[in-house]
Amino acid sequence: MKSVIKTTKALSLAILPALLFGGMAVTANAAQDVNRCGAPELKMDKGSFEVNRAGAVISYDYCEYSFYAKKGQKVSAKLVGSDDLYPILYSTTSPDISENPVTLTKTGTQTIRVLQPRAQARQSNTPKPYYLTVTIK
């Protein structure tokens, strides 16, 4: 009897993530899927002002990238892919950084999220691929 309970418990723990995350789909509150979004840290080569990432957003999910920058630097992003997606500088105001560069008001780690509006997220669970170029000067 103990071996049956032990096996059932092990199977439950193995199946639970698949049931919760539905394979590739990841909820917005879960950890970022590196295979779908690419490396979450944006590191630029010395002397470079740009870094690129390719990824895909599914439904309500988003891809999140972090980088270190100093107060006064300007951050912008160019996103090629679905017209439904846009990059925001995640903060209290969360501006869309594809329209105009944003001047940073503090030094430290910053976060960019690539996401889609709720209306488009409700419509489909089909992955929407993109290519993101982030510029920091």
pTM of model > 0.85? no
Percent of the chain with pLDDT over 70: 76
The 10s digit of each residue's pLDDT in 30-57 is 455 777 898 999 988 787 789 999 999 9
Of 20 and 31, which is predicted with more confidence? 31
Q: Which helix (H) or strand (E) holds 74?
A: strand 74-81
What is the structure's pLDDT at 36?
A: 87
Output the six-digit token pair for 121: 């997220």
Mean pLDDT of 11-34: 43
Average pLDDT across the chain, whole number: 79
HEC string for 56-96:
EECCCCCEEEEEEECCCCEEEEEEEECCCCEEEECCCCCCE
